[in-house]
Structure 1
Amino acid sequence: MKFRVERDVLAEAVTWTARSLSPRPPVPVLSGLLIKAESGSLSIASFDYEISARLQIAADIAEEGTILVSGRLLAEICRSLPSAPVEVETDGSKVTLTCRNSRFNLATMPVAEYPELPALPEVSGVVDGDAFAQAVSQVIIAASRDDTLPILTGVRMEIEDDLITFLATDRYRLALRELSWKPSTPGISTSALVKAKTLNEVAKTLGGAGDLNIAFSDDSELIGFESGGRRTTSLLVDGDYPKIRSLFPDNTPIHATVETSALVEAVRRVSLVAERNTPVRLAFTDGQVTLDAGTGEDAQASEALEASLIGDDITVAFNPHYLSEGLGAFPSKYVRFSFTTPPKPAVISAQEELTGDDREDYRYLLMPVRLPNQ
């Protein structure tokens, strides 16, 4: 095999594909990247039995062939090369990379031992990549990071015709985001539980390339994403996701609206004195919200902001980290808190004006910390 390709093109392609490599591969060959040179293009792929990634780039192919080389090492080498064309050539069980005066010899691994890559299922529909990336970023903050509960480390995707609903929870908060898409089959109804980490990688690396194809396998075991000549597949998380939609209250008599950026900064400042596992308290009254943290002889902080309140005065307390992450996911000028009673979950949604209706395409439900007098 022998080919020539620009360093920047090769480095980006290798780096993207190597992202999917497992840090602890089950067998040595799965630490490698499978590189095929044929028909005027270069195919680079990775696979760890759970996630696969594959792309094609244009290259000057002098001699067709297939090699398997250490992915992480190749990625580091490509990033370190000078900005100039790279020539890659095999010599027996070795592969040589040459770029100006730099030359690297790498050992290859047996291609015959590499497992067959899963095929991308038939495309189920298309979604705007930027909108998909934003939706994923808003939802994954609520996914659990505790691997002892693998089901909660996933994001549930519910598809009903032209609407995708993303759901995630770690038992202390819940995020729901609705997104329109164009299904290949009108009236489609399906669901998938995808690892939050996988969705995040897809959103970051494929979301900005225009339209994103989403493919669900017929056996409900695999999901695939494709955009800009890059494709990735992932096994779905196995198990029954809890029915968390019912946690959103049907009726919320108390509503408070606050400017998003001002509240984010106030929470950041006040929570500086919140010791580990202690909450930030928010007291909503007509015309303002007062934030405070700290008790007794410890450091204390408080800050008041303008707010609009509909309903009775209410005081609630939240984990400052969960509150900050939730507020940071809203791009709207204002956020609206909807309450039933202080000990019950609060729902945060987007609002464009200080008074008016909220937008419900994204909702963040947060469990409060119970105060002593509640």
Structure 2
Amino acid sequence: MKISISQVTLEQALSIVSKGIGSDLSQPILAGIHMRAANGTVELQTSNTTIFIRHALSANVEEEGEIVVSGKLLTNIVRTLSGSVVDIEGDDRNVLVTCDKSTFRLNALDPQDFPSFPEYQLENSIELDTSILSKMVDKVYKVTYKDNSRPILSGILTTVQNNTIRLVATDSYRLAVCDTNVETQNGESFNAILPGAVFHEVLSLSKFSDKILIGITDSQVVFQFANTTFVTRKIEGNFPDYKQLLPKSCKTKVEVDVARLTSALHRVSVVAVNNPSVKFDINVDSATMKLSATSPNQGEATELIPVDIQGSDITIALNYHYVNDCMEAVSDQDKVTFELESGMQPGIFKSYAKVNYLYLLMPLRM
């Protein structure tokens, strides 16, 4: 194989496929990037057995062929190059990388040992705007369960119905739901549990395209945007019936300034070193919400926030880390609504905008 390619284009392509480089020392081939050149195109592939990534880019192909070279090493090399064109030449034993006055001779791996890219036939798919979808995933991703012992909770329930897209995530301590209106062809519908980590990773890269296609097979999830394809395993099972978690009534409704609550929470939580509990005391007569935290070794802190209240006095204790995650998700809004039924039932934060957001949080014992 012998090719010439723009350094900027190659660096961008490597930043995408490097997300799929494997780290299993027992399978060194997975630490490589597979490169195949033909018909003026270079196709890059990586796989860590969990995800497969393929990306195509234009290049001057002088000699067709394929190579596998260390993905981390090649990425680091290309990132440091200052020339405009990178020349790559190699076989199944050695790879020569040259750019301007820099030359690198790298060991190669046998392309025949690299896993083939999975074939698939989509059963259901939907094409969505990447900009709005990226914002939605950012709002719910932190709520996904980060331990693979509960794969269902590590996923994001994604539904499209009646031109409304909804994303739902939960780690059993909290629940995040966001939805917005979208335009779909012929009122398309879609329903799948998408792996949260991969979904978030894909959306962080899809800035290179205005649209992203998400599809499923009986065992796979496929993401396609521009010249890039991600394939990963589908999460099997039933997502929890999150609607049953939502309280049927609301005793107290509080409207609070997002920036003010965020700042107060940061100050009060300074003393909550070993105990993440922050108490929220809502007082109707004074139209205030008092945040307080206590630590046997550090002391205590309180702060009053003026709020608009409908309902009656109520007190609830919440994990300040989780409340802070919610504030980050609604940081683009001026106000957030805080709904409560009792101090022993979940508290719900709501925000209404182009993307509607609901964040349910289980209370802590006071």
Conserved in 1, the CA contact under 8 Å of 2:23 and 2:48? no
Percent identity over paired residues: 26
Q: CA deviation at 1:268?
A: 0.7
Q: CA deviation at 1:84?
A: 2.6
User: What letter corresponds to residue 116 of structure 2 in structure 1?
Assistant: E
1:89 aligns with 2:92: no
Pick aligned residue for 1:241 from 221, 239, 242: 239
Single out whichever of 270-279 and 20-29 deviates more from structure 2: 20-29
Distance in 2 separating the partners of 1:344 and 1:208? 43
1:25-174 equivalence runs, <5 A = 27-90=27-90, 93-119=93-119, 121-122=121-122, 124-174=125-175
Single out whichever of 160-169 and 104-113 deviates more from structure 2: 160-169
Conserved in 2, the CA contact under 8 Å of 1:168 and 1:176? yes
1:303 aligns with 2:303: yes
Conserved in 2, the CA contact under 8 Å of 1:124 and 1:183? no
1:277 aligns with 2:275: yes
Distance in 2 separating the partners of 1:245 and 1:303? 34
Gaps of 5+ in 2: none
Deviation readout 1:315-372 (Å, 9 max, x if unpaired): 11111101101111012110101111111001101157xxxxxx8831000011121x
Distance in 2 separating the partners of 1:138 and 1:276? 27
1:343-362 equivalence runs, <5 A = 343-351=344-352, 361-362=356-357
CA 1:346–1:69 in structure 2 vs 1: closer, same or farther (change >3 Å)? same
Single out whichever of 39-48 and 259-268 deviates more from structure 2: 39-48
1:165-204 equivalence runs, <5 A = 165-183=166-184, 186-188=187-189, 190-204=190-204
Counterpart of 1:223 in structure 2 is 221
Distance in 1 separating the partners of 2:243 and 2:102? 57
Deviation readout 1:133-157 (Å, 9 max, x if unpaired): 0100101111112233232222222
User: What letter corresponds to residue 98 of structure 1 in structure 2?
Assistant: T
Distance in 2 separating the partners of 1:360 and 1:5? 41
TM-score (norm 1): 0.90
User: What letter corresponds to residue 100 of structure 2 in structure 1?
Assistant: R
Deviation readout 1:95-151 (Å, 9 max, x if unpaired): 100011211111221212222212464472211111110100101111112233232
Q: CA deviation at 1:246?
A: 1.2
TM-score (norm 2): 0.92
Q: CA deviation at 1:77?
A: 1.4
User: What letter corresponds to residue 166 of structure 2 in structure 1?
Assistant: T
Q: Secondary structure of the residue that 2:10 maps to in structure 1?
A: helix
Distance in 1 separating the partners of 2:83 and 2:263? 42
User: What letter corresponds to residue 106 of structure 1 in structure 2?
Assistant: L
Gaps of 5+ in 1: 353-358
Conserved in 2, the CA contact under 8 Å of 1:121 and 1:223? no
Conserved in 2, the CA contact under 8 Å of 1:157 and 1:167? yes
CA 1:59–1:208 in structure 2 vs 1: closer, same or farther (change >3 Å)? closer
Q: Secondary structure of the residue that 2:20 maps to in structure 1?
A: coil
Pick aligned residue for 2:363 from 360, 364, 368: 368
Distance in 2 separating the partners of 1:29 and 1:185? 44
Distance in 2 separating the partners of 1:83 and 1:301? 57
User: What letter corresponds to residue 266 of structure 2 in structure 1?
Assistant: R
Q: Secondary structure of the residue that 1:144 maps to in structure 2?
A: coil
